[in-house]
Chains A and B, each alone.
Chain A
């Protein structure tokens, strides 16, 4: 299979969250994902994009860049923003850690990304932005007997 690549840029408006996860789901259909894998990817993308809206650009609207690459049986996803950055990434990725408990935030976003995807990394520079990088490996297609 040849590589495939997708790049989307959109405003960090909450109403783009559904569009972003559905676009990634549609893009990775060529890998014949199971419903469960597809749901994992949609959820992880939704978490990453929501973080940009709620945290990175909390004081306004900025651009979110969503890139996907298909390589062999893997989907590589990069979600970047140029927002405020995360002061302490180690702390931020702890389950139930949230800076906004009063807004009914669960603090489970990064935990879900980590659990649902096969690879997960966060790079963040305060005042410059954050990049979340995730990989989902799909099982090679099996012939139906």
Chain B
């Protein structure tokens, strides 16, 4: 799984690209946490899922982990553009109450 990131208008955008499972999650966790730590002054963090071709429940754990990390710095976290399959899992887990979809 690859990551692209950028800062736009005071927000940190993190785009995940590829398949999110227990195998790929470890390195993505580390990369995302580094990005968050390096950008603690942002107003919000948006994780874009539009190019996540596959995601299982590892994605739920991953997002909650990043949510906790961002929350410690009082930064709100959003997800953006999950595909139909990712949306189904995220809905089932009720995660959108913690991490809303970006408008």
Any chain A CB within 8 A of the CB of B64? yes
Interface size on A, residues (CB 8 A): 26
Task: Assess whether B65 is in contact with A112, with CB atoms less than 8 Å apart.
Answer: no
Interface residues of A in 91-119 (CB under 8 A from B): 103-106, 108-109, 111-112, 115-116
Q: How far is the CA of A70 from the CA of B57 in the complex (A)?
A: 26
Task: Assess whether A106 is in contact with B85, with CB atoms less than 8 Å apart.
Answer: no
Any chain B CB within 8 A of the CB of A3? no
Q: A residues within 8 A CB of B23?
A: 14-15, 17-18
Interface residues of A in 32-85 (CB under 8 A from B): 35-36, 39-40, 42-43, 46-47, 50, 53-54
Report if A46-B61 is in contact (Cβ < 8 Å); known contacts: A54-B22, A104-B29.
no
Interface centre among B21, B25, B56, B85 (most CB of A within 10 A): B56
**B21, B29, B61: the one within 8 Å of A106 (CB):** B61
Q: Does more than half of chain A's interface fall in helix, strand or loop, or is it mixed?
A: helix
A-B contact list, 25 entries, CB within 8 Å: A14-B23, A15-B23, A17-B22, A18-B21, A18-B23, A18-B54, A39-B54, A39-B88, A40-B85, A43-B85, A43-B89, A50-B21, A50-B22, A103-B61, A104-B62, A104-B64, A106-B58, A106-B60, A106-B93, A108-B57, A108-B89, A108-B92, A111-B92, A112-B56, A112-B89
- Say which size band chain B's interface belongs to: 20 to 34
Task: Assess whether A47 is in contact with B92, with CB atoms less than 8 Å apart.
Answer: no
Interface centre among A43, A54, A105, A106 (most CB of B within 10 A): A106
Q: B residues within 8 A CB of A35?
A: 84
Q: How far is the CA of A105 from the CA of B58 in the complex (A)?
A: 7
Any chain A CB within 8 A of the CB of B19? yes
A17 to chain B, nearest CB (A): 5
Write out, one digit per residue, whether chain A residues 1-18 have a CB within 8 A of any chain B CB (1) or not (0): 000000000000011011
**B19, B64, B84, B92: the one within 8 Å of A112 (CB):** B92
Task: Assess whether A50 is in contact with B29, with CB atoms less than 8 Å apart.
Answer: no
Q: B residues within 8 A CB of A103?
A: 61
- Closest residue on chain A to residue B26 by CB atoms: A14
